[in-house]
Homo-oligomer: A and B are copies of this chain.
Amino acid sequence: MAVYTHVTPEELNTFLVPYGIGPVRSFKGIAEGVENSNFLLRTEKASYILTLYEKRVTAEDLPYFLSLMNFIADKGIPGAKPITPKNGKPLGQLCGRPAALIEFLDGVSADPPNLAQCENAGAALAELHLGALEFSEIRANAMGLEAWGALLRAAAPRADEVQTGLGDLLKGELLTIAAKWPTDLPQGVIHADLFPDNVLFVGDQVSGLIDFYFACTDMLTYDLGIMINAWCFDRQGGFEPEKSTALLRGYQAKRKLSKEERDALPLLAHGAALRFILTRLTDWLARDPTALVTPKDPLALLPHLAFHGKANSPSVYGA
């Protein structure tokens, strides 16, 4: 849950003038996202999400994210469109923070997703990949392979506070993954954080992809590796092959994977599990016990890591 910044009605009204969306009818902080302050805003014209970007988002990257969100919404891919005020720049300032007003999307996250939702989310990812092919801006993946070594070096000395032997385990996994990490697979815009939280459904239909604040340029199939971790395991860490099969079927109905992409799936899923373990471990070790946000459990993805390490064929995932 996240509302870090208090916005007075006066500050809000001043901010909204150039958007021309009429007087505020309702304004409520919402418990969504852990990085930013989010508010649900209603005027007589429509409903919006107002996001204030707090310290963890790099301000220089915000124009990229908003530009991408705008691009894909214009392509008809279900995703929230930033509202552009009179000055033409969707990134404004409110309460001393970068801020953006974004179209409100109906929909509810799946928890846990059913098979139809896995299939439809896979199709939506393929639509995102295809729709953003012409998006010309480039952003390196700040949470890619190069970052993992640095994260692990910083976390390793205290990793055993979380679980005995964790530091050594992760070092071994990183060496294995880095030695084989592919470099020649098709690249493009990836969402890079498409957990069920970040897909809205109305019924089983995808109504929106949200939270593009890790989006970057990287191997398209890596996004599938992330989704396999996020969508296709139960709460105890047990792999659910029928969900993975549905996810990949949905994806491939829109964008067929090449043989090289299919063959790389176990490794990409393995790397994705490591990436989220490392960032969660970093957050866990840096947690402030008085803070509002409880960091995610770094150990929750250990079964995933072990599973992918043993997967010897893309057929394990249904590809």
| A28 lies within 8 A of chain B by Cβ | yes
List of B residues within 8 angstroms of A9 by Cβ: 108-111
List of B residues within 8 angstroms of A297 by Cβ: none
Q: Is B25 a contact partner of A202 (Cβ separation < 8 A)?
A: yes
| A150 lies within 8 A of chain B by Cβ | no
Q: Is A31 a contact partner of B1 (Cβ separation < 8 A)?
A: yes
State in angstroms the CA–CA spacing of A26 and B32 once bound together.
13
Query: What's the least CB distance linking A41 to chain B, in Å?
Result: 10
List of B residues within 8 angstroms of A289 by Cβ: 289-290
| A188 lies within 8 A of chain B by Cβ | no
| A233 lies within 8 A of chain B by Cβ | no
State in angstroms the CA–CA spacing of A30 and B203 once bound together.
22
| A42 lies within 8 A of chain B by Cβ | yes
List of B residues within 8 angstroms of A107 by Cβ: 25-26
List of B residues within 8 angstroms of A24 by Cβ: 108
Sample of 9 more A-B contacts, CB < 8 Å, known A23-B203, A29-B31, A29-B32: A1-B3, A3-B31, A9-B111, A25-B107, A26-B106, A28-B32, A30-B31, A289-B289, A290-B290
List of B residues within 8 angstroms of A42 by Cβ: 106
State in angstroms the CA–CA spacing of A111 and B42 once bound together.
18
List of B residues within 8 angstroms of A31 by Cβ: 1, 3, 28-31
List of B residues within 8 angstroms of A27 by Cβ: 108
Query: What's the least CB distance linking A158 to chain B, in Å?
Result: 20
List of B residues within 8 angstroms of A142 by Cβ: none
State in angstroms the CA–CA spacing of A186 and B21 once bound together.
46
State in angstroms the CA–CA spacing of A29 and B26 once bound together.
15
List of B residues within 8 angstroms of A290 by Cβ: 289-290
State in angstroms the CA–CA spacing of A42 and B1 once bound together.
19
